[in-house]
Structures are given as structure tokens and as C-alpha cells.
Structure 1
Amino acid sequence: MKVHPTPPTRNLTLRYDTTTTAAGRQKKLRRLPHIFAKVLELPFYSDADVSVEETANSFKFVVDTDDDIGTDITAHTIEILPGVTKIVVRGVRLIGNFEVNEVELNVWRFRLPASTRPELATAAFSDGELVVTVPKSV
């Protein structure tokens, strides 16, 4: 019977090179998770052709769709963590081959700047286009 030696334990903590500050002390840099404060999520695949227009008062996102998605489209603001919000566009019917109530990972996302007001976002469907408007703070 052959006994295999136990593998050496590994320290999985990620550390970067230390840098020297102006006072001569060393400062340790650590990796932080990549989190955006405000994100818009549309129920289309990530490679969808979305037109983004920025004006002085708002951001406007326009998506051409072949589906008749109805008039009951809404933009919901979800607070994931304190200070981290996500705007999710939802409806009753299928939008771009997505069931709106299920969670998808390969969806179209856009990082919104800090000047936007996600709680005032609106979504509407007209003439084969889904239009989402996110106002900015003045």
C-alpha cells in the first residue's frame, strides 16, 4: 500500500507589492471587489445593440426589438447593498428570449455615473423600441 504525502498548505491570501509612502512607512495594497454603485440591467443578451444617448438632464437607452412586449414595462430600482443600486427593467411577457422573472448572467449591463437618479428611471415600449430613461441630478 502506497501512502501519498499530504500536499503543502497554501496561503490563498492575495498580496501585492508594498509601496512606500511619503513618510517612509510601507503601505500594503489589497485587492478589493469590483463593485459599481449604480448599474442599469436590460433583459437582452450582453451583445445586444443598445443606443445610449446622454443629454444634460438624462441618459436614454434605446433597443430595437421584434417582440411585442406590451405596455406594462417598468423599471425597478433594487438596493443590493447600502449605496449599491441596480435598475432592472421588467415586464410580463418575454423580452429578447428572456423570461423576465428568471435570473440571467449574460444580460446587457451599463455602469451609471454617480450623478444619475435610479429611483426616477422610466421604461416604455413604442414602435418596436424599448426606451429606458434615467434622469440626472441637476
Structure 2
Amino acid sequence: MIRTMLIGTLMAACTSLGFAQDIKRTPIRPSHPLLGAWKIELPEFACYEMYNLRANGTKRTISGKEVSESVFQISAYPSARGFYKWVDKIIKHNGQVDCTGDKSPVGDIAINYILLHPDGTQFLLCAEENLNECIGPFVRQESI
């Protein structure tokens, strides 16, 4: 089941670790099903977010006026429950505000879990390996 939830839930779903640990960019195989551009519409903010996950372990995000870059680690295959673990650290941004009017802090680390739709065209972003706190759908786009 793919459903859209409010951006406030998005913020809650992102398990932030602040500056507690460090992660390194981890290149992933070019055939990984989550590589590429993904978009979530946020009609309650008349806004959208676009994520571009690259094989070199970096991600570009556009959210409102904010453009940020991250390094990430993502599991090569889904867990027994069907989720990919995703650890993401913001390394730079343009200083502008995102869809909610906030600025993402450089150095912020988030741990989330992705449930990919069987057809590979959508995913849910979840706080845990269950559907209790998820946002989505993020829909596959042409590369940005």
C-alpha cells in the first residue's frame, strides 16, 4: 500500500542522529534498484522534494529553494522484511529553505528504511522496518 502523508510525518520518520556518528560515502552497484531520481509531491506545501541517488554514494536533494548534497550508505539488498536500510549525511547545502521553511543542517545524519514497490517505480520512506511511520510515494523520475 502506497500512501501520502504530511511532511511533518516525514520529519518524524527521519531518525536523526545529529552529529553522533560519521558515515562515509559508499559506492553501490550500478544495477541497484534505488539509484536514480525520485520525487514526492507535497501538495499541503505546494512543493515537492526530488532525490537523485548516485552510484558513487552521493545524493542531491531539491526541496523548495534548498539544494543539498549528501553522502549515503544503503544496503545492497532488502532485509528479510523487504526494506533497504539507508543512512544519509548532509555534507553541504545552498543555505535556502526547504518545503517546510526550514534549513537542513550540514552534518545531520538520518537513518531510514525504504520499501520498494515490486514494479520498482515507487517507494515508501519509513522510520523503522514496518509501515507504522512512512511517507510516500516517492516516484521514479528521469535523471536530474
TM-score by length of 1: 0.25
Greater radius of gyration (CA): 1
**Structure whose residues are more often helix by fraction:** 2
Higher strand share: 2
